Amino acid sequence: MPAAMPLFPIFADLRNRAVLVVGGGDVAERKTLALLDAGAAVTLGAPALTPALRALRDQGRLRHIDGHFEPGWVAGNWLIIAATDDVALNAAVAAAGEQHHIFTNVVDDPQRCSFQVPSVINRDPIQIAISSGGTAPVLARRIRERLESLLDHSLGQLASLAAKRRISIRARLPDLRRRRQFYDWLLDGPVAALLRQARPQAAEQALQQALAQEYPPLPGSVTLVGAGPGDPGLLTLKALRALNEADVILYDRLVSDEILSLARRDATRISVGKRLGGNHDATQENIHALMREHAGAGRKVVRLKGGDAFIFGRGGEEISALRADGIPYEIVPGITAALACAAYSGIPLTHRDHAQSVRLITAHCAKSEDTLDWRALAAEHQTLAFYMGVGQLDTLSQQLQAHGRAANTPCALIENGSLPGQRVLPTTLARLAQDAQRHAIHAPALLIIGEVAALATTHHWFGELLDSTPKAIQTPASLVPAT
């Protein structure tokens, strides 16, 4: 199996199911003990066994085939583990398993495995499995060690207590959101603390007292969440928490699949992104109607918007609509594209000598670019960050030059900012449209204009830096570090 092939994670119920282990040494002993702990009916095939394996055989806890491997051994088993130090023998076991359509693990040989045995963190009944697909077992073990230190050993007791009271909790809290809130309290509150203190009876009593309280249904609400520029690592902790509590997620077109994958698996996801050439006002009204519908039905709605909801995101209109409908709301800010694209391109938006202010501008205005104050935008000692400007680069360049901005003013176009496909194009105001066309720059892209944009050529650290016209793009002397 190719190392790059993704594995399907699965937990197998092996109770009273036949499993064959080929080998009788230390590795086979470790695998056998783990299988017996899982309740498997183990058959061990090998001419010699370790003392511990012999003891297990003598106790009747496993069946032993005394001899050298034969393909007929594999029939009737659910799983097979080849745990010998003989490469040819392990290959023969894997081939027999493949022929009989039985999942087989060959220790330390991922290419011959049809299943992997992961590193495991055991907080019975909670288990966490970590796999590198057999390519980096040391890394998987290191991750397990770190997680072990984060998870208290009382976690298993807490899970058992929750399972014991599950029917009572469902009956007492039929409202799903209330029940979720109760489980959050159970995991973070006094019950968990009492279990950590080795006081299980007091913990169960605290749980019973909590269940005796009254819990009226929660009202619906909307949380406006800024998803940031695309890199899931730039999502805030509050945004992540909101995604995990949401019943319904209304998300924009530019919200990445990687960010959506962090949300609750059973949340309803509705794409409400605006399309090029579509009726944006009608789409916005539909968003308002969806928020009203789902929040009115008592659901927790997340309105997930790229970047920050209040930076060219029509978040203000949505809040006004929620207030008019009397719907409770919260706002979770996100990292806007100007901040992220600049940082991921090595461009400081402000600089003591060259940029004392920053302007965030949309080149996709409600009316037209003629509404912009071009004379003010053409002033020096400021940085301009244009959103949604790829289609208007020629106009932007001409207007700024016509109102006094120098033709050799540094510019940087950042395409797919913060994402693995990020491309940064350093250029000048005069060559902006020409260079963008030559490199086929497409939306989403952010345009930065000002002296600080020249630093993209020297401070670049992420993604691809595109060729430009080096002689025309000169870093101001005061921006060059002293040697």
Catalytic residues: 252, 274
Q: Is 307 annotated as contributing to ligand binding?
A: yes
Q: Is 229 annotated as contributing to ligand binding?
A: yes
Q: Is 26 annotated as contributing to ligand binding?
A: yes
Q: Judging by DSSP bridges, how do beta strands 221-226 and 300-305 pair with one another? A: parallel
Q: Is 58 annotated as contributing to ligand binding?
A: no
Report the candidate in 152, 128, 153, 131 with the shortest Cα–Cα distance to residue 6: 131
Other C-beta atoms within 10 Å of 58: how many? 10
Q: Is the dihedral of CA 149, 150, 154, 155 positive or negative?
A: negative
Evaluate whether 223 touches 242 at the Cβ level (below 8 Å): yes
∠ CA 427-231-265 to the nearest 5 degrees?
150
3-state secondary structure of 120: strand
Query: DSSP H helical segments within 314-382, as ranges?
Result: 315-325, 337-344, 374-377
Q: Is 25 annotated as contributing to ligand binding?
A: no
Alpha-carbon distance of 32 to 238, in angstroms, equals 44
Residue 459 vs residues 263, 342, 347, 480: alpha-carbon distances, Å: 34, 11, 7, 10
Q: Is 5 annotated as contributing to ligand binding?
A: no
Q: Is 327 annotated as contributing to ligand binding?
A: no
Alpha-carbon distance of 143 to 137, in angstroms, equals 10
Alpha-carbon distance of 431 to 376, in angstroms, equals 22
Q: Is 125 annotated as contributing to ligand binding?
A: no
Alpha-carbon distance of 304 to 407, in angstroms, equals 39
Q: Is 94 annotated as contributing to ligand binding?
A: no
Q: For residue 482, which phi and psi values (nearest 5 degrees)?
A: -70, 145
Alpha-carbon distance of 324 to 141, in angstroms, equals 54
- Tell me the one-letter amino acid at 174: P
Q: Is 83 annotated as contributing to ligand binding?
A: no
DSSP designation for 388: S
> To the nearest 5 percent, what fractions of the chain are helix, strand and coil?
40, 20, 40
Which residues are paired to 303 by β-bridges?
224, 250
Beta strands in 316-466 (DSSP E): 329-332, 358-362, 383-387, 410-415, 423-428, 445-449, 464-465
Annotated binding site for NAD(+): 26-27, 47-48
From the annotation, which residues make up the binding site for S-adenosyl-L-methionine? Answer: 229, 306-308, 311, 336-337, 388, 417
Residues belonging to the binding site are 26-27, 47-48, 229, 306-308, 311, 336-337, 388, 417
